[in-house]
Amino acid sequence: MVNHTVRTSLDEIKRREISRLQELARLQMQGMSAHDGVKKFEIPSYLDVRNPHSFEVKDLENLIIKTTSDLEELDKQRKEEFKEYEMEKTFEQQEHLKALKEEERKREEARLEELKKKHAQHPKVNHPGSKDQFEEVWEKVDHLEDQEFNPKTFFYTHDVNGDMEWSVDEVDAVLQLELDKVYDAKNSPDEDDPVERQEEMNRMREHVFQEMDKDKNWRISFQEFIDYTGSQH
């Protein structure tokens, strides 16, 4: 159940969205030439158009399903784009080295190798979403090292808006310490590539949600978190 003000707002948003879609359908049909014929206008699956006036549980369920599907598709696109970025980066680096004179090339190769070694030298990395990872955040970020780790307190501490769920942003904040070990934002792009840094955050976040987000709504509820941390003992 939601309060009356929120309910009224949701109803109004739904009415406006259906009105917008009806206008789009009308404009689409106007823009068709005679030989095109009438094409079916796809009504988004996240709206129950049989009830155009109020926002109901079915609308919310459809919206969650559609949003999850969209996010999964975006994740696939992101991974493909990152692969392309890495291939292009390697190609450009090789082309740059080819263009250098022998002595310059040797110096540049040595510099790149040194950067690679520096990047590999970092504190121990914990498994994302593991008890060890949470305990390190508890000690170094929450500054509660003098207290025994408490999953409930930890969840509440990082549930910034108090809605009893961790959003994507709240999960990212919990993972930040781990990310900074491997990719220091203060380092040069040559040493710690910001694009690779963001992709590493994406990977860690994706893993945490795969492990904890049992209903696949891209939110980690208090109960999902407690169930997960309890299973790690």
Rounded to whole angstroms, the Cα distance separating 171 from 225 reads 11
**Is residue 74 a part of any domain in this protein?**
no
Which pairs from 134-141 meet CB under 8 Å and 24+ separation? 134/174, 134/229, 136/177, 136/178, 137/174, 137/177, 140/177, 141/176, 141/177
Closest CA to 229 of 132, 125, 126, 124: 132
**Is residue 23 a part of any domain in this protein?**
yes
Residue-by-residue pLDDT tens, the chain, 233 positions = 456 565 566 666 656 655 555 555 555 555 544 444 444 445 555 555 555 555 556 665 666 666 666 667 778 888 899 999 999 999 999 999 999 999 999 999 999 999 999 988 888 999 999 999 999 999 999 999 999 999 999 999 999 999 999 998 999 999 999 999 999 888 888 888 999 999 999 999 999 999 999 988 888 999 999 999 987 65
**Is residue 167 a part of any domain in this protein?**
yes
Residue 99 · residue 119 · CB < 8 Å: no
pLDDT of residue 31: 52
CATH at 184: 1.10.238.10
Written as one string, the DSSP assignment of 56-76 is -HHHHHHHHHHHHHHHHHHHH
Total domains in the chain come to: 2
**Is residue 48 a part of any domain in this protein?**
yes
**Is residue 86 a part of any domain in this protein?**
no
Give the structural domain span for 32: 4-55
Q: Answer yes or no: do 29 and 129 share one domain.
A: no
pLDDT of residue 185: 82
Count CA atoms closer than 13 A to 75's CA, side-chain side.
Answer: 17
Helical (H) or strand (E) element with 106? helix 102-120
Three-state DSSP state, 27: helix
